[in-house]
Structure 1
């Protein structure tokens, strides 16, 4: 009984955070979910851990959407060679629900976004600003869990800040990441971001 109650409470709290638009459910440090978050959200986090391990070999680890800008999935120890090969200097982590390996040789920035949710345009603009600053130091890697939705949104948003229209950005990222998710909420998110960015 207590286990069922724990799971129910965990998922209820998670649903509340989604409703409130609170992105950080794990308080990650250098890519690692903190113990308190594991205790509180273990049903959700365990499900994501299993899903990631089942799917990680089915999706490309990293794709380049623009010169020096890479997007993709959460990485593990075996993927460190890709970071070196692609000369990544900064990793931007969008995924609060999975652990990832961060080599000591790269800068790490945690900017959590909830999966399957429309991000605030201001949050996207902040991440784009970080990309523009960090790009001066070298190549950037932006990742979510699978590299198919949140990192796609951020990649598109960054291209919009570089003068692309929403459709041009979507087409460019789709060409690089052919397995990307294509759902209405993503187009709504980019339309909202484009309108916000053009006004500011």
Structure 2
């Protein structure tokens, strides 16, 4: 039996290129023209640090700078998946729209001129100046596109040396925006942030795009938590732009908290981009890094004097998210994670299943039923039936999953008995009325038999 390869959708790729290429030059040129009109009536601002004047002008770096044009056009023709081509094009289009909007709303100017260049480098600089001007600074669209293309080309570079070539090429492009005197430093992290946001927003996998998961929840607890995170983001932004200088790095944790707030308001656990084995996508790791660090510290603090796991029933363990060393010391048990905000260690994922849930928010009866089936499936998958059910602390989500399993597969127990049994093993558990009501509703609902 022969497996037919998907037809190469070159017409679709060509159509996207026919849209994106003219749009790039038209919108980019329009933003340049508008900035030039403002500059004619007064000097546009620049965000530049004193140390940037020590950066040397290296004319030959115009070659990696220009190379992004070639890789941009070629990228659309490499995949045989229509879905992936569409998602990649959506990333490019989103970066273009956001960057140009920033150029129009907040125009900046490069503050010192370019020295003369000779030879082939000089010809490329002349070609660049024919349509580019010292505007369109932050966020650097060049950097944003480099990040998007780097993530795209990774799927076509399976070998180690190919990956290193890709990494070095991306690094050369990022450095070239400084050494060709096209951008100031502030444009690089802002451009990288835009690129990572586009990758986060448009998964290449069959998962829905995050914007399609937007559903505003009226749940009071979720709105309260979202308001707390949004307030923190606003305070950090005020400090960043009020103090300036090094304080501008506070924009990163502000963006991180803003995304967490959006997750609670509308995106749900999908906004953390956690897969079914507890691995968080690299774009979410980068965007949420300050929040993830705080979440790790918080988990360590609250569980510092507690055992990593406790036994509720023979072979059924409840606890916090384990480290690799704790998992190995426990004998490599099967794992069920309910944590959306903290990924599992790489070695642990081989025996793990993850159902990402938002912290401090009660699950639905349907989700609790799925938790119970997932725990049962993992018990069957492990040779001796040992399974470790975990979340960040082991106080609520994982405790509810253990109770859901007890109620589903130990039918003699009711909610009160299951709670007492779980609390006896883990006295610190926190399950409020919303959790208990959902558990009671799940117990009354017949098992659907759907796969976990």
TM norm structure 1: 0.84
Q: Distance in 1 between matches of 2:371 and 2:403?
A: 12
Q: Is 1:167 aligned with 2:167? A: no
Q: CA 1:127/1:105 → structure 2, altered by over 3 Å: closer, same or farther?
A: closer
Q: Is 1:144 aligned with 2:144? A: no
Cα contact 1:156–1:173 (8 A) shared by 2: yes
Instruction: State the 1:56 CA deviation.
Output: 4.2
Q: Distance in 2 between matches of 1:136 and 1:35?
A: 31
Q: Distance in 2 between matches of 1:54 and 1:199?
A: 38
- Which region of structure 1 is more displaced relative to structure 2, 97-106 or 48-57? 97-106
Q: Distance in 1 between matches of 2:297 and 2:377?
A: 35
Instruction: State the 1:30 CA deviation.
Output: 4.8
Q: CA 1:23/1:78 → structure 2, altered by over 3 Å: closer, same or farther?
A: same
Cα contact 1:102–1:108 (8 A) shared by 2: no
Instruction: State the 1:103 CA deviation.
Output: 4.2
Q: Distance in 2 between matches of 1:181 and 1:166?
A: 15
Q: Distance in 2 between matches of 1:94 and 1:108?
A: 11
Instruction: State the 1:159 CA deviation.
Output: 1.2
Q: Distance in 2 between matches of 1:198 and 1:52?
A: 33
Q: Is 1:120 aligned with 2:364? A: yes
Q: CA 1:31/1:124 → structure 2, altered by over 3 Å: closer, same or farther?
A: same
- Number of matched residues? 194
What CA deviation, in whole Å up to 9, does each residue of 1:70-112 have, x standing for no partner? 110111133134321xx72x20111122243364696211111
Q: Which has the higher strand share?
A: 1
Q: CA 1:99/1:196 → structure 2, altered by over 3 Å: closer, same or farther?
A: closer
Give the corresponding residue for 2:44: none
Instruction: State the 1:152 CA deviation.
Output: 0.8
Cα contact 1:121–1:189 (8 A) shared by 2: no
| Mapping for residues 70-149 of structure 1, pairs under 5 Å | 70-84=317-331, 88=333, 90-101=334-345, 103=347, 107-137=351-381, 138-149=385-396
SS in 1 for 2:330: helix
Q: Distance in 2 between matches of 1:179 and 1:18?
A: 25
Give the corresponding residue for 2:280: 33
Q: Distance in 2 between matches of 1:151 and 1:198?
A: 21
Q: CA 1:193/1:56 → structure 2, altered by over 3 Å: closer, same or farther?
A: closer
Give the corresponding residue for 2:211: none
Cα contact 2:274–2:356 (8 A) shared by 1: no
Instruction: State the 1:12 CA deviation.
Output: 2.2
Q: Distance in 1 between matches of 2:350 and 2:279?
A: 15
What CA deviation, in whole Å up to 9, does each residue of 1:115-156 have, x standing for no partner? 111112211111111222222232111101111121111111
Cα contact 1:10–1:43 (8 A) shared by 2: yes
Instruction: State the 1:36 CA deviation.
Output: 0.8
Alignment gaps of 5+ in structure 1: none
Q: Distance in 1 between matches of 2:306 and 2:317?
A: 14
Instruction: State the 1:168 CA deviation.
Output: 0.7
Alignment gaps of 5+ in structure 2: 1-239, 241-247, 447-452
Q: Distance in 1 between matches of 2:377 and 2:276?
A: 21
Q: Which has the higher helix share?
A: 2
TM norm structure 2: 0.40
Give the corresponding residue for 1:195: 441
Q: Distance in 2 between matches of 1:102 and 1:133?
A: 21
